[in-house]
Structure 1
Amino acid sequence: MENLNISYNSDNHIVYISKEGTISLTEAILVLNRLVEEYNHLDSVCILEDSRQSRLDISLKELREFYREIKKNISGQKEVRHADIVDTPFETAIGVIFQQMVAPLKGYDYRCFSTEKAALAWLKKGVY
């Protein structure tokens, strides 16, 4: 991963993530750990991730490993809503698979979108 930016907007209570380059499982877990360290104190977390300038290099087996990391780290959260903006068929397919994979998790909801407007509208539906 070449460039990563994570910021929190206190006006709309959204964590913004933008990244560039190729994303491996190790890098995805590093981003997750950083989010947990910086925002775990919040009861409700809305994440808007812009993945349009990055590409995943993650197998389905690794996606299951990432799921286990998320499951391990979301305990104690009322709600985590994670909107991911994607722009390729592969990232969309992985996003849909991941959405189905995490659906049973209580307190974590993931969706992928093609536009920021749609992603923000969905995130705002869940803000406490």
Structure 2
Amino acid sequence: MKFSISVDHDLRIVRYTHSGLITKEDIGEAWAELLTMKEFTQLNYNLLSDYRKGKFEIPLDALPEIIEFLHTVKHVVQAKKQALIVNDPYSVAASILFLEKVGKETGFEVQVFSTKVSALNWLIAKL
């Protein structure tokens, strides 16, 4: 397994960290685990996805399929936040393209960050 998931109950955040090459299937495996977690599905914890030690190997033409998947779990992700921490140029570009569509179509508010501190600050900020 190239990812780990932990829970920060104080901040009400699910932390997902991934390393190495990241495929669409890897993202699917992580989401399968996230969707079994009460904190994420019922307690409305936000999601911190840290990809700084990884690199997306997901073609841009796969983004519609990923967004379609999020439509199927719209009831879980709507009104939640996800902070993506990325530092690889391709991963940053793919993440920006992803966030522009996903928020409009599912209500899942996603932002891209280069540091953990800025990502955490945004996740815990009150709207």
* TM-score (norm. length: structure 2): 0.89
Deviation at 1:6, TM superposition (A): 0.2
Aligned match of 2:36: 37
Aligned match of 2:68: 68
Separation in structure 2 between the aligned mates of residue 7 and residue 64 of structure 1, nearest angstrom: 28
Give unpaired runs (5+ residues) of structure 2: none
Task: State the aligned residue count.
Answer: 125
Q: Name the % identity.
A: 25
Deviation at 1:74, TM superposition (A): 2.5
Please say if 1:19 is aligned against 2:18. Answer: yes
Aligned match of 1:55: 55
Separation in structure 2 between the aligned mates of residue 121 and residue 85 of structure 1, nearest angstrom: 12
* TM-score (norm. length: structure 1): 0.88
Runs of 4+ in 1 over 2 A off after TM superposition: 76-79
Aligned match of 2:123: 123
Matched residue of 1:15: which SS? strand
Aligned match of 2:5: 6
Deviation at 1:88, TM superposition (A): 1.6
Aligned match of 1:93: 93
After superposition, give the CA deviation of every residue in 1:4-61 in whole Å (9 maximum; x if it has no partner).
Answer: 110111111011111111111111111112111112122x231111101111111122
CA RMSD of aligned residues (A): 1.7
Separation in structure 1 between the aligned mates of residue 64 and residue 45 of structure 2, nearest angstrom: 22
Shift of the 21–80 alpha-carbon distance from structure 1 to 2, 3 Å rule, reads same
Shift of the 79–103 alpha-carbon distance from structure 1 to 2, 3 Å rule, reads closer
Separation in structure 1 between the aligned mates of residue 42 and residue 80 of structure 2, nearest angstrom: 12
